[in-house]
Structure 1
Amino acid sequence: MLKNIVFDFGNVVMNYDPDKILNHYDLSPADHELLKKTIFQSKEWLEIDRGNLSEDEATKIFIKKLPKRLHDQARTIMQTWPSKVVFYQDVFDWMKELKADGYHIYALSNTGMRFANYLMKSKYGENFDGGVFSAAEKLMKPDARIYEKLLTRYHLKAGESLFIDDLKENTAAAEDLGMYGFTFWIDKLSELKDYVSKIGKEQ
């Protein structure tokens, strides 16, 4: 019986698009591109997700790479970018329906803790019964160990759990552990709803 539905964050519950995030700041086209490359496309950004750098440590590295005129802007972006993403309200509305139907909802995401804490402390966080995040665990999907941490921490059975992610390699890793997997993009929401309904009826 399907009991647990596990959501990734980026491009599943919100639109992770550095260009759209940076559009919220007053930047010239050249500065927009420079900040995108220096911050969001950097190796340090991945190290934040891996838990090897804090956001503040990464900010200091970014500042060293940028001209002085962009130092304050870089600090502001690093502090405030989580509030600039667009959340998918339709997904969160569906989560409420799922919880009303008795499902448990969890998060499993490759993310730094600044964003994870922002989301989980926001109005959207109340939809989740728990979460496991790469920066805190120092493990990244599709490493099987991060999925196993979620299952163990919340006493979940793999065969009763569905994992939703925007990357096929991540849903495939969940399936290898016996979980259901669904590779998602926002235009697949109706397909995902049908899938949950189908596998729920099969058991």
Structure 2
Amino acid sequence: MIKTLLFDFGDVFLTLDKSATQTHLKRFGITEFNKEMLIKNQAYEMGLIPTKDFISYYTEKFPQLSELDFIHAWNSILIDFPKHKLDFLKNLAADKQFQLILLSNTNDLHIQWVEENIAIYSEFKACFDAFYLSHEIELRKPNADVFKFILDNHSRKPEEILFIDDTKENTDAADKLGLKTWNLKAGNEDVVDLFNVNRFLI
């Protein structure tokens, strides 16, 4: 029996354009994130690098890139938050049938942008019983330790959690630990249809 709904944030609630950052960086001659850069990005996502140092890493590596240019490119992935998704979540919270938890791979720059540009963010956050951001808990998906953190912190058995995430790598990792999962296909599926497409909730 499902007792907890564990939600991702980006492309489940917050609309993303996942190619936007690299599209913007190409204007400065940065065609891809190499292995070193990907490691740095993941460390930043886990809160292991201060924002100032993270920005400096890129502006020093690519002198043609100003601090403002980098921040704009980095945050260009973030688009908007459709209100109907908030309405769905608020109804879910009011119903109190499930414990609601958010688990998001994100970083300080992205959350700063969300706080400044998404007016309904505080309402969204208030719907959850627990709200975990990777850069605050120093854990990230798809690593097994982040799911074990959720299970231990909330005294749940894996089969009591339904995990909703748009990234298959993340849902595959959760599957291996016994969590129920929905790999939501962003653009083709909507979180508001949760109860129509999930056999675990019927």
Q: TM-score range by the shorter chain?
A: 0.7 to 0.9
User: Does the C-alpha gap of structure 1 residues 178 and 117 become closer, same or farther in structure 2, counting only changes over 3 Å?
Assistant: farther
The answer as to whether partners of 2:2 and 2:160 remain within 8 angstroms in 1 is: yes
Match of 1:106 among 80, 101, 106: 101
Counterpart in the other structure of 1:54: 50
User: Does the C-alpha gap of structure 1 residues 150 and 118 become closer, same or farther in structure 2, counting only changes over 3 Å?
Assistant: farther
The amino acid that maps onto 1:171 is T
User: Does the C-alpha gap of structure 1 residues 84 and 141 become closer, same or farther in structure 2, counting only changes over 3 Å?
Assistant: closer
The amino acid that maps onto 1:95 is L
- Percent of aligned pairs sharing the same letter: 25
Corresponding residue SS for 1:59: helix
| CA-CA distance at 1:161 after TM superposition | 1.3
The answer as to whether partners of 1:49 and 1:111 remain within 8 angstroms in 2 is: yes
State how far apart, in whole Å, the 2-side matches of 1:82 and 1:122 are.
21
The answer as to whether partners of 2:139 and 2:145 remain within 8 angstroms in 1 is: yes
State how far apart, in whole Å, the 1-side matches of 2:25 and 2:173 are.
41
| CA-CA distance at 1:60 after TM superposition | 0.9
Q: Please report the TM-score for the alignment, with normalisation by the length of structure 2.
A: 0.74
Counterpart in the other structure of 1:90: 84
State how far apart, in whole Å, the 2-side matches of 1:111 and 1:5 are.
19
Greater helix content: 1
Q: Please report the TM-score for the alignment, with normalisation by the length of structure 1.
A: 0.74
State how far apart, in whole Å, the 2-side matches of 1:117 and 1:106 are.
21
State how far apart, in whole Å, the 2-side matches of 1:17 and 1:83 are.
5
The amino acid that maps onto 1:105 is L
| CA-CA distance at 1:94 after TM superposition | 1.6
| CA-CA distance at 1:182 after TM superposition | 0.3
State how far apart, in whole Å, the 2-side matches of 1:155 and 1:119 are.
30
Q: Deviations over 1:76-117 (max 9, x none)?
A: 538x93895312433322211221222221111222244357
Where does structure 2 lack aligned partners over 5 or more consecutive residues? 116-120
Number of residues of Structure 1 aligned to a counterpart in Structure 2: 192
Where does structure 1 lack aligned partners over 5 or more consecutive residues? none
Corresponding residue SS for 2:139: coil
User: Does the C-alpha gap of structure 1 residues 67 and 46 become closer, same or farther in structure 2, counting only changes over 3 Å?
Assistant: same
State how far apart, in whole Å, the 2-side matches of 1:96 and 1:146 are.
26
The amino acid that maps onto 1:77 is H
The answer as to whether partners of 1:164 and 1:181 remain within 8 angstroms in 2 is: yes
Corresponding residue SS for 1:178: coil
The answer as to whether partners of 1:95 and 1:105 remain within 8 angstroms in 2 is: no
Counterpart in the other structure of 2:196: 194
Q: Deviations over 1:126-148 (max 9, x none)?
A: 12221233333333322211011
State how far apart, in whole Å, the 2-side matches of 1:85 and 1:147 are.
27
